Amino acid sequence: MAPKYKLTYFPIMGLAEPIRFILSYGKIEFEDNRFESDKWPSIKESMPFGQVPVLEIDGKKICQTIAICRYLAKQVGLAGDNDWENLQIDMAADTVTDIRTKIVSPNYETDEEKKQKKKAEVINETLPFLLPRLDNLVKQNGGYLANGKLSWADLYFVALIDLLKFMIGFDITKDYSNLSALKNKVLEIPAIKEWVAKRPKTER
Amino acid sequence: MAPKYKLTYFPIMGLAEPIRFILSYGKIEFEDNRFESDKWPSIKESMPFGQVPVLEIDGKKICQTIAICRYLAKQVGLAGDNDWENLQIDMAADTVTDIRTKIVSPNYETDEEKKQKKKAEVINETLPFLLPRLDNLVKQNGGYLANGKLSWADLYFVALIDLLKFMIGFDITKDYSNLSALKNKVLEIPAIKEWVAKRPKTER
């Protein structure tokens, strides 16, 4: 029997969206359990390390977005064919996570003036250093983040673009032709297109 | 022919130490290329995403500590036996990374008063929430982070303890019997013991 999947997260795309993309890509049914923020304190206590997203697989609670993505990718044909290919996928995905972390970091600053200064640094220094390199990685890999073919790293990246846009104020792929093309390519995958059309509409 | 490994990092343990642990565990020879900090600007430019550690495998530059650890683990018998076991290992390792990130985060605060306040929060709230859960995970897994047996997640965790101690001022395993026992067990592995005895002595 197919395992039963239940995904628990806030009622937003956020860090759960890459998991939803991969499940949708594999046409795997899952319970998309979105809780309201006022329920968070009690849910937090019941989660392995007080974090979400958590994916329950036949009732066993698993946390950590990237770990979940990698596991599901193996079930749906989005992992590499060998250890070397998986290394390239992992390197790309962790680099995307670093970019995400840098974009999110100014929001932890409580002082408004400092927050704006940090945000400007991210926009004017960090991203202009990292995004051309990510764009070039995609160029070198035939339009994908790794190995010249679609992998879960591509879905992970594209699923996070809306969250990053909400955080930083613009689509980070806008000035990068290889990243834009990758985004369009992933969003044109029929199963992804279908998911995006039917998912709850949220701003992040 | 065995691949040629060259590991480039600052002259500290830091984020390269888990990679050095796993290479040492597998008795894999590697060039331990430690550069002085004044060389960093030029080295940064030559690295895939301006970060280290970078492991060159037969001249091909690979970044991202966790991705490198997972890849090497497969070569030296520290990965899981199946997808489910690897999921448990990945979840544990990413949780250790979260704890590391939280311990390091106050250091990005420029205001000294705020830095101390954030550090106190980490010590009094974040760690007392996360460490008992990590300790319990080890208890549930027969003295290891995952699957009741040694994996690269254990080496990753133990190799970072000195860095975390430098950051936060104490050994995070000190009040947790399962974490302390895991630390001792990993440090007693002959190949690790040998590496720790011969490595350059640095404070972090």
Digit-coded pLDDT (tens) for B24-66: 999 999 999 999 999 999 999 999 999 999 999 999 999 999 9
Q: Which of B51, B87, B101 sits opposite A71 (nearest CB)?
A: B87
Cα separation of A20 and A68, whole Å?
11
Q: Kindly state the percentage of chain B with pLDDT values over 90.
A: 94
Contact A67 B87 (CB under 8 A): yes
Cβ(B23)–Cβ(B48) below 8 Å: no
DSSP output for A12-81: SSGGGHHHHHHHHHTT---EEEE--GGGHHHHHHHSTTS-S-EEEETTEEEE-HHHHHHHHHHHHT-S-S
Q: What angle do CA A21, A24, A28 make, to 5 degrees?
A: 135
| Mean pLDDT taken over chain A | 96
Contact A94 B70 (CB under 8 A): no
Q: How far is B35 from chain A (nearest CA, A)?
A: 22
**Helix or strand (DSSP H, E) at B57:** strand B54-57
Contact A62 B91 (CB under 8 A): yes
For A132, nearest residue in chain B (alpha carbons): B49
Range list for CATH 3.40.30.10 in chain A: 5-76+191-198
For B132, nearest residue in chain A (alpha carbons): A49
Fold of the A5-76+191-198 domain: Glutaredoxin (3.40.30)
Q: Kindly state the percentage of chain B with pLDDT values over 70.
A: 100
pLDDT tens, residue by residue, B64-73: 999 999 999 9
How does residue A200 score in pLDDT terms, banded at 50, 70 and 90? Answer: very high
pLDDT tens, residue by residue, A32-49: 999 999 999 999 999 999
Is the Cα dihedral B188, B141, A52, B73 positive or negative?
positive
Contact A91 B133 (CB under 8 A): no
Contact A133 B50 (CB under 8 A): yes
Q: Which of A48, A101, A105 sits opposite B133 (nearest CB)?
A: A48
Contact B110 A114 (CB under 8 A): yes
For B109, nearest residue in chain A (alpha carbons): A109
| pLDDT value for B108 | 77
Other Cβ atoms within 10 Å of A125 Cβ, number: 11
Cα separation of A69 and A67, whole Å?
6
| Average confidence (pLDDT) over B175-191 | 98
Contact B95 A63 (CB under 8 A): yes
| Average confidence (pLDDT) over A168-191 | 98
Cα separation of B129 and A47, whole Å?
12
B105 contact residues in A (CB cutoff 8 A): 108
Q: How far is A67 from chain B (nearest CA, A)?
A: 5
| pLDDT value for A116 | 92
pLDDT tens, residue by residue, B128-164: 999 999 999 999 999 999 999 999 999 999 999 999 9
Range list for CATH 1.20.1050.10 in chain B: 83-188
| Mean pLDDT taken over chain B | 96
The A60-63 sheet, strands edge to edge: A31-34, A5-9, A54-57, A60-63
pLDDT tens, residue by residue, B63-120: 999 999 999 999 999 999 999 999 999 999 999 999 999 999 888 777 888 889 999 9
For B75, nearest residue in chain A (alpha carbons): A83
Q: Which CATH architecture has domain A83-188?
A: Up-down Bundle (1.20)
Residue A110 confidence (pLDDT) above 80: no
Contact B133 A51 (CB under 8 A): no
| pLDDT value for B116 | 92
Cα separation of A115 and A127, whole Å?
16
| pLDDT value for A132 | 98
